[in-house]
Amino acid sequence: MPTPPAPSALYPDIAAFGSLAAALRTVAEGCLGAVPVSSSDSDPLRHAAVDSALPHRGPLQISAWSYERRWAIRGTEPFQGLSLLDGETEDLARVARAARAWHDGEPLDDIRRAASFVRLTGRFEVPDHNPARLVESEWQHMRQEAVELEYTWQEQYQALIEAAYAEPALRALYPFTSHWALRFSGTTRPNLTVVGPCLQANSDGTYGLGRGFITPDFGVFTSAHEAVALAVRHLPSGLGSVTLGR
């Protein structure tokens, strides 16, 4: 891979302001007002952050691409460190509008309306860290992610996610993936506690089920529903409600 150009060469206008934070304020034309905007000490031309007035939102991270002029944003919730929204644009003024809405605590849907390049991840905000709501939020994210995938086996993976979600015993657990293998936890992030078997959607249209990661020692099946039904039978007995993974 070729060496990326120096940030000052790719972003000479940003370099003229001295930092991405300063440039962001300028293009915002007063939109950011007294909103706190900071730049990275190590790479001020490429990275900036905008704080939120809401305690359950982390700073909106703004990053410049290395090989072409474009900016990416990422807004997370700090308890699990997971993305609520992201997006990419060539227009820094649009970033400023999204940053202002993020800081002001605007609902996620309203942030997307204020800046159309914003993509919502499907997760919703859970200010009180209610475990059941965090489980529901993560399932919503995984279902949306499965629809948006561009892999050749996207249909197989989506079928697996939907089949698992349709089973109440699995839907009550916290879902997570590792290399597109579907797994379950009895606790939320940041500290997961793996329970039950591992489900895998394969590129040949089959579905594997096993004790460990991508080891289908329980069998390979032609339908997602078959694999999921057996996964339910292999859940340990006495599972309680999901708790916070502190």
Residues 160-195: tens digit of each pLDDT: 999 999 999 999 999 999 777 999 999 999 999 999
Give residue 150's pLDDT: 82
Regarding beta strands 60-64 and 47-50, do their DSSP bridges make them parallel or antiparallel, or are they unpaired?
antiparallel
Give residue 37's pLDDT: 96
Taking the complete model, does pTM exceed 0.75, yes or no?
Answer: yes
Query: Mean pLDDT of all residues in the chain?
Result: 95
pLDDT tens digits, 36-77: 999 999 999 999 999 999 999 999 999 999 999 999 999 999
Give residue 153's pLDDT: 78
Which residues is 71 bridged to in the sheet?
64, 89
Give residue 235's pLDDT: 96
